[in-house]
Structure 1
Amino acid sequence: MNGNQNLRRNALPLALGAAMGLAVAAPQAAEITVAVASGFTTLDPYDASDTLSRTVSSSFYEGLFSLDDQNRPVPALATGYEVSDDGLVYTMKLREGVKFQDGTDFDANAVKINFDRLLDKANNLSRRGFLSMIDKVEVVDPMTVRFTLQMPFSAFVSRLATGTAVMICPKAIEQYGGDVAFKPCGTGPYIMKDYNPSERLYVVKNPNYWQKGLPKLDGILWKPVVENSTRAAMLRTGEAQFAYTIPAEQVKTLQGVKGIEVLVEPSIISRYLIINNQKKPFTDPRVRAAINYAINKEALVKVAFAGYAEPMTGVIPKEISGFENLGVWPYDPKKARELLAEAGFPNGFETELWSGYNNTTAAKVIQFIQQQLRQVGIKTNLRTLEAGQRVAMIESVRTVEEAQSRLYYIGWSNSTAEPDWCLRPIFDSRNAPPVLANEGYYVNKKVDELFDKALLETDLAKREENYREIQRLIWQDAGFAPLVTEMNISGRSLKLKNFRVLPSGSYDFYQAELEP
């Protein structure tokens, strides 16, 4: 079976390309500022839990494949691949003539070093589970590498294309080890010049980039701006040439500003309320169900998203294959109060409500939820977390006993658009922090069994039915509170071309250029 026919050679476009540099023929410097909604957690894509950090890291890192605008894998540092008949062995040819930013050659040994680092449990890299199906990586010859999987996995190449499995300079791995996040060195079109996780990431053109004519920008300043109105103002005044997200309430105002375009596009980004299933009173499914009944999702769309979202009708976004349509969880505060009384809380209780984002839209969301829960007797204390706090207080917690979160507003996006990575990281009991994102410590052994069964199933229809059953079980357990799938709202200067947000919330800026 030859995978080359499914790929567009020499395409290396879109999704997680890179961002910066100057058009080769441009007479003067062309740099842009991109205003983003939060700070960065890490510049090590193998350890970044958030889409934004992995995306900005693609300024200097590339993988073996990238994704086109249809979420299909296309060649990047690999030129193609072959798959064994049993689906276990992928043999990949690598692109010749590519050098790392430290001047060393990219080759099969570099690929092996990067994947061995990821797969080594001792390194505790948070994205290890994303590629845990890999059994071993072998060097066939200097420009050929062989991956052997533990089981057939049809989405393997798509997983390689999402911005996690990038190529870091082997010398940097050897020299900096766990500090590689502050010393990025890859094959990409930009080189880091300045970095402060909460304030800025400034990258400049790699003059020795292997793809001639790219990048077309001289530099990009990625600037975290958590205040919605400030991001919009930066776009309006020209201080930023791109901003995401644009506050929904300012869409109509910005659409009237000369020289600016506002884009409103569908996404596969779900927002939901994590419920800590292992902490009382949330160990009782009636309490978890009451929380679901207490929140009016249609009203939330209007209040916090100005209509630019839609209530979730299941556990995962409807655009993902294997989606099970379960309908919007009904808004029924009377039912919520009855369930709380049955669970022994006729007068409600007091708890914590945190947000994994500290932007102003997230503040609106948790304030709305606070008001909704108060109506059924649940009093909440609000707290918004910065990116570093989110890592320390949620994602790096070692045991459920140490977990201090109770109700937690967060989201998820899956750039591979397949159900496994929409569900497994969040609901497999073996993926509680710090392994992956089961931050509600949800446990259902039948769900775990279905996850294992789905991976071994080679029939696509049967495999998707396993995921549909998983969704039904999670829904029955009220394992979390699904809220909305939001629209992607971004704004750009009309002078900035080929820079946009993808449905996953990552950026396509590989071909970006700035007109005079």
Structure 2
Amino acid sequence: MKFSPRSIPVFPAVLLFAISACGGADTAVPASTPVSGGSTTGATGSSTSEEIVLRVGVSWLSGSLAPPARFGPVDLGLGETLFRLGDEYRVMPWLATGAQNLDGKTWEISLRQGVKFHNGAEMDAAAVKASLERAFAEKPSVKDLLDTDTIEVKDRYTLTIVTNNPSPILPNLLTPGETAIVDAAAAQAMGGAFNDKPVLTGPFKVERYLQGEELVAVRHEDYWGPGPFADRLQVLNIRDNNSRILALQAGDIDIAAGIPPHGVVTLEADPGVVVRHPAQFQLNFMFLNTQRETMKDVRVRQAMAHAIDRAALVKGVMLGQAKPAVGPFPPTFLTCDQLQGRSFDLEKSRELLAAAGYQDPNGDGLLEKDGQPLEITFLTYGKGGFLPPMAEAIQGMFKNVGIKANIRTVERVDANLKEGDWDASMFNNNMVHTGDSYGTLFGFAKPGAYLNKSSYQNPQLDGLLTKMFPLADPEERRKVACEASQVLIDDTPVIPILHQNWDYGVSNAVTGFDNPYPYFLYIIDGGIGKR
């Protein structure tokens, strides 16, 4: 499979006709053959009886493997969703074979037959209904994203989903890993053990899992699709980026995920390794904790955004392997001609801080207000990667306008963000994980959603999302998404910084990984193998 970006928000290609609330023409996601997430080229098995073990080094292996956990099940070939993203981020069937939008709010989803869970149980409509309802109960934001009213079994392999409002992109919203299909009966029977050994449908099934250390999975012999072309998968949690690079060069791992800029230079000189460059859909940005007293003032948040010299970061930290970000989405995905970002402007930054009441009474270069210094706790993570040096560079930029930023480097940033003892934090995330901008904007806006680490609420943004949700016309969706992006820029709960590469170092022995997806979508699938 060849992956390439497109210049407008991706929208299901089948939704070519406007759907009226009172019932328009039926529209459908057609049946399709499965597509490998990493690639469909070059995957071969082995002619010998020797066990083929594929070893992958990552930096994020922690927490539960069971959906609705955000990372792990789908990314690592353990689980699958009803729909997935294919070429150019178009939605396509996966565990489903197709979908029909009957009246705007009602979708009929036909399921793939012959799919078995890792325990041998069959996946049918009742099992899918139970899986989705389990996800809703464990993570209410998933139900909110889908805007689900009811889920009913029509027949053994057909599911009917009714939404509260017209939902032209429901298949897109069924692509995130939180909706991966699990054997809900097994989950109930296994209790807490299900988190470390979930029963899913993917090409690999968990043999053992040590949180924060190692995942070992074996071939799912009853897998419905082709492959996998490896007998065993070993995923090692190697948080230090330099150690991950060295492990790849030494042959201890076959794939190193998330290579920093200096590592790309090193690996491109290694004849035994190839560097894969997915499309640039990742955003490097800064969360601002709107629950902290200092960060409640929008002028302070805006001043921080104006203090950051993005061009200097691209050149000095990223070695040119990134592009400055204006808003949350790369322009290759969402084109917003009139988007006004917060560009590097020290004078504007100082003006905003002065308007917020901050002064430098003793001339030491650090601002104060009511006798209290403008001092923030600034989180970063990713030892050996680009985020710590980027945080240090931004720390100096903040100092230029009188803000003292105390950097705290952490190992598990999600856990630290949840604790709330911070003012600002570096972060990376894929901005197009549903193939439509609504999913990401929802994530920034809704309480409990993954991207709302800032504890942010804005009625104006909520209203725009409500307006955008039922729109069937891609151009109308684009316009509202651009307006919502401008609200995020203006209110500044997050600071977009860079759209950087998410690169992989890959051994020449690996097959089926020629065109990986951006930012660890579908790293491992049935098409991957090893010579």
Any idea what the Cα deviations from partners look like across 1:174-225, whole Å, max 9, x if unmatched? 21345522121112211111212211111111222233x5111111111121
Moved more, 245-254 or 111-120: 245-254
Aligned to 2:529: 513
Report if aligned partners of 2:30, 2:99 keep a CA contact under 8 Å in 1.
Answer: no
Write the distance in 2 (CA, Å) between the matches of 1:3 and 1:509: 31
1:352 to 372, 377, 380: 377
Q: 1:168 to 1:179 in 2, by over 3 A?
A: same
The aligned runs of 1:328-343 (5 Å cut-off) are: 329-343=342-356
Write the distance in 2 (CA, Å) between the matches of 1:489 and 1:279: 35
2:75 aligned with 1:60, yes or no? no
Structure 2: state its 5+ residue gaps: 1-24, 361-366, 368-373
Aligned to 2:64: 42
* CA apart distance, 1:23: 3.0
2:37 aligned with 1:15, yes or no? yes
Write the distance in 1 (CA, Å) between the matches of 2:143 and 2:383: 27
Report if aligned partners of 1:65, 1:161 keep a CA contact under 8 Å in 2.
Answer: yes
Q: What TM-score comes out, normalization by structure 2 length?
A: 0.85
2:86 aligned with 1:73, yes or no? no
Report if aligned partners of 2:433, 2:440 keep a CA contact under 8 Å in 1.
Answer: no
Q: 1:87 to 1:358 in 2, by over 3 A?
A: farther
Report if aligned partners of 1:59, 1:203 keep a CA contact under 8 Å in 2.
Answer: no
2:498 aligned with 1:481, yes or no? no
SS in 2 for 1:45: coil
Q: Count residues with an aligned counterpart.
A: 490
Aligned to 1:400: none
1:380 to 380, 400, 405: 405
Any idea what the Cα deviations from partners look like across 1:6-63, whole Å, max 9, x if unmatched? 5452x22233899xx9937553211111111333332123132xxx43444x522122
Report if aligned partners of 1:498, 1:508 keep a CA contact under 8 Å in 2.
Answer: no
* CA apart distance, 1:117: 1.2
Q: 1:301 to 1:476 in 2, by over 3 A?
A: same
Q: 1:238 to 1:328 in 2, by over 3 A?
A: farther
* CA apart distance, 1:118: 1.9
The aligned runs of 1:261-300 (5 Å cut-off) are: 261-300=274-313
Aligned to 1:137: 151
Report if aligned partners of 2:110, 2:158 keep a CA contact under 8 Å in 1.
Answer: yes
Aligned to 1:470: 484
SS in 2 for 1:305: coil
RMSD: 2.5
Aligned to 1:191: 205
Aligned to 2:50: 28
Report if aligned partners of 2:97, 2:110 keep a CA contact under 8 Å in 1.
Answer: yes
2:147 aligned with 1:147, yes or no? no
2:244 aligned with 1:244, yes or no? no
Aligned to 1:111: 128
Aligned to 2:433: 415
Write the distance in 1 (CA, Å) between the matches of 2:422 and 2:179: 30
SS in 1 for 2:505: strand
Q: 1:135 to 1:177 in 2, by over 3 A?
A: farther
Report if aligned partners of 1:67, 1:162 keep a CA contact under 8 Å in 2.
Answer: no
SS in 2 for 1:245: strand
* CA apart distance, 1:507: 3.2
The aligned runs of 1:354-503 (5 Å cut-off) are: 354-355=379-380, 357=382, 360-387=385-412, 390-395=413-418, 403-413=420-430, 414-426=432-444, 428=445, 431-432=446-447, 434-499=448-513, 500-503=515-518
Identical positions, percent = 26
* CA apart distance, 1:372: 1.3
The aligned runs of 1:72-221 (5 Å cut-off) are: 72-84=90-102, 86-120=103-137, 123-124=138-139, 127-131=142-146, 133-177=147-191, 179-211=193-225, 213-221=226-234
Q: Which has the higher helix share?
A: 1
SS in 2 for 1:265: coil
Write the distance in 1 (CA, Å) between the matches of 2:350 and 2:327: 23
Q: What TM-score comes out, normalization by structure 1 length?
A: 0.88
Report if aligned partners of 1:37, 1:359 keep a CA contact under 8 Å in 2.
Answer: no
Q: Which has the higher contact order (CA 8 A, sep 6+)?
A: 2
Any idea what the Cα deviations from partners look like across 1:437-485, whole Å, max 9, x if unmatched? 3222333322221111222334433333222222222222233221001
Report if aligned partners of 2:417, 2:453 keep a CA contact under 8 Å in 1.
Answer: yes
Q: 1:111 to 1:40 in 2, by over 3 A?
A: same
Write the distance in 2 (CA, Å) between the matches of 1:233 and 1:373: 34
Report if aligned partners of 1:217, 1:514 keep a CA contact under 8 Å in 2.
Answer: yes
Write the distance in 2 (CA, Å) between the matches of 1:461 and 1:26: 54
Q: 1:325 to 1:226 in 2, by over 3 A?
A: farther
The aligned runs of 1:228-243 (5 Å cut-off) are: 228-243=241-256
Q: 1:197 to 1:156 in 2, by over 3 A?
A: same
Letter in 2 for 1:507: Y
SS in 2 for 1:46: coil
Q: 1:65 to 1:25 in 2, by over 3 A?
A: farther
Q: 1:22 to 1:171 in 2, by over 3 A?
A: farther
Q: 1:81 to 1:473 in 2, by over 3 A?
A: closer
